[in-house]
Amino acid sequence: MVPLLLVLLLALLLFGAGFALKALWWIAVIVLVVWLLGFVIRPAAAGGRRGRWYRW
Q: What is the DSSP string of 3-55?
A: HHHHHHHHHHHHHHHHHHHHHHHHHHHHHHHHHHHHHHHHHHHTTT----SS-
**pLDDT (0 to 100) of residue 38:** 78
**pLDDT (0 to 100) of residue 18:** 85
- Residue 37 has a CB neighbour count (10 Å cut-off) of 11
Rounded-to-10 torsion of CA 47, 53, 55, 56: -130
pLDDT tens digit string along 12-49?
A: 888 888 888 888 889 999 999 988 887 777 655 555 55
Q: How many domains are there within the chain? A: 1
The pTM of the full predicted model, rounded to 2 decimals, is 0.56
pLDDT tens digit string along 4-20?
A: 888 889 888 888 888 88
**Structural domain of 56:** 1-56
